[in-house]
Amino acid sequence: MLAAQLDTEKYQVTLYDKKKAVGRKFLVAGEGGLNLTFHSDLEELIAQYFPSAFMTSSLMQFTNEDLRNWLNNIEVPTFVGSSNRVFPEAGLKPIEVLNKLVEHIQSKNVKFKLDTEWTGWNKKGHLCFKDSDDVESDITIFALGGASWKVTGSDGEWAKNFEEPGINILPFRAANCAFAIEWNKNFISTHEGKPLKNIVLKYKKQSSKGELVISKFGLEGNALYALSRSIQDELLTKKSVSIKLDLKPTMTVSQIKAKYKKSKLTQVTDILKEDLNLDRTAIALLKQYSDKETFVDINLLAGIIKSVPITIAATDDIDKAISTLGAIALDEVDANFQLKKIPHSYAIGEMLDWYAPTGGYLLQGCFSMGFALAKHLNELEVE
């Protein structure tokens, strides 16, 4: 986005990437459905980012609607899917979307230098690249990504280059990731891979609506991803974290009890299935989290249905995370993303320590930062 927006009459722009092709992570994102942004009003959009004050200006300069319009102008029409997530229109593959972006950037006279890894600065402050000549640049923008899915090139190796200039790099941690749960063997052998739909997860004062998927490792899914930053923060100081799972968010405890008691059926499992519309996996989960007496007493079971107590002990491998926390501390950059310790050098995207849940917010945040920085640089008075 930055390369697409920079004024190439004013700047000679060269885009370097250590991989042989650009946008590898963008393509990986496309594998699960390329969720480009989220359709909501601006206030709601901004509220999803942490810290939201850091992202507000960029998001206001280039909103979710601006992104959709811009994509449409480069022949990437989008549609609002279920839960207000925005995707490329049916039939447009992620590689075609990426190609449209690349073609657009190329049409702006931006040079591409691929398979060229930035390794730091020489004594004169020029940029150094592996197996390539040093480069003197007037302005450098780093957009080197986080530290997950290393195969895409976003391996976080760049962080060591910033030690010498004394930039505060916070340790990388997984966000939007799976968490470990110790499942009962019988439960997991039958229910591995099964979803829990239309549930609400509660963690302290936060709650998150969506779905979960049960895996051998534990739990994953958008309802959990949305809480991942806070859970990760608690795991920094505690060995485990408790979350509560509401399997019937549309009903209160009293409504559940009343409906159960009105049932003409006699078996608990049948009543849960037929009258309370809980599926086999939800019912098996209730069995795992309640003793025999609780399971047959709706006065006790209703409380568990609304609040299954789940203990999380760890996160999955960082390389499997959808995004990462950590990297460059936000107070290392000014309001225009300029590195305070390295004038004329800027950092944007996931290499800064901000967080957003899944739902298209990550790409939207990156696009908005690229747009906002390009606008600033286009307006900058240069000698």
Ligand X SMILES: Cc1cc2nc3c(=O)[nH]c(=O)nc-3n(C[C@H](O)[C@H](O)[C@H](O)COP(=O)(O)OP(=O)(O)OC[C@H]3O[C@@H](n4cnc5c(N)ncnc54)[C@H](O)[C@@H]3O)c2cc1C
Interface ranges with ligand X (CB under 6 A): 16-19, 22, 24-26, 28-29, 32, 34-35, 117-118, 143-145, 148-149, 153-154, 158, 322-323, 349-350, 360, 362-363, 366
Other C-beta atoms lying within 10 Å of the C-beta of residue 206: 13
Torsion of CA 323, 281, 196, 88, to 10 degrees: 80
At its nearest, how many Å lie between ligand X and the CB of residue 356? 8
Q: Which residues contact 329 (CB under 8 A, 6 or more apart)?
A: 167, 168, 169, 170, 353
Which residue has the closest beta carbon to ligand X? 153
Nearest in space to 87 (alpha carbons), one of 370, 383, 380, 363:
363
Cα-based distances in Å from 42 to 39, 202, 278:
9, 25, 36
Based on CB atoms, which residue is closest to ligand X, 290 or 345? 345
Rounded to 5 degrees, φ, ψ at 214 are: -90, 125
Beta bridge partners of 214: 219
For the CA atoms of the chain, what is the radius of gyration?
24
Cα-based distances in Å from 141 to 60, 122, 127, 377:
21, 17, 11, 11
Rounded to 5 degrees, φ, ψ at 326 are: 90, -160
Rounded to 5 degrees, φ, ψ at 232 are: -60, -40
At its nearest, how many Å lie between ligand X and the CB of residue 331? 19
Based on CB atoms, which residue is closest to ligand X, 147 or 278? 147
At its nearest, how many Å lie between ligand X and the CB of residue 190? 27
Cα-based distances in Å from 233 to 8, 66, 195, 215, 239:
42, 33, 26, 23, 11
Based on CB atoms, which residue is closest to ligand X, 221 or 360? 360
At its nearest, how many Å lie between ligand X and the CB of residue 341? 18
At its nearest, how many Å lie between ligand X and the CB of residue 102? 12
Based on CB atoms, which residue is closest to ligand X, 98 or 286? 98
Based on CB atoms, which residue is closest to ligand X, 120 or 195? 120
- Residue 249 CA to residue 26 CA, distance in Å, equals 34
Helices (H), 48-172: 52-61, 64-73, 94-107
At its nearest, how many Å lie between ligand X and the CB of residue 211? 15
At its nearest, how many Å lie between ligand X and the CB of residue 131? 12
What's the distance, Cα to Cα, between the start and end of the chain in Å?
Answer: 25
Based on CB atoms, which residue is closest to ligand X, 156 or 218? 156
At its nearest, how many Å lie between ligand X and the CB of residue 350? 4
Based on CB atoms, which residue is closest to ligand X, 28 or 80? 28
Exposed / middle / buried, residue 139 (Cβ in 10 Å: 0-12, 13-18, 19+): middle
Based on CB atoms, which residue is closest to ligand X, 17 or 332? 17
At its nearest, how many Å lie between ligand X and the CB of residue 351? 6
- Residue 288 CA to residue 311 CA, distance in Å, equals 13
- Residue 342 CA to residue 162 CA, distance in Å, equals 10
At its nearest, how many Å lie between ligand X and the CB of residue 264? 45
Nearest in space to 35 (alpha carbons), one of 176, 195, 144:
176
Based on CB atoms, which residue is closest to ligand X, 1 or 276? 1
Based on CB atoms, which residue is closest to ligand X, 96 or 234? 96
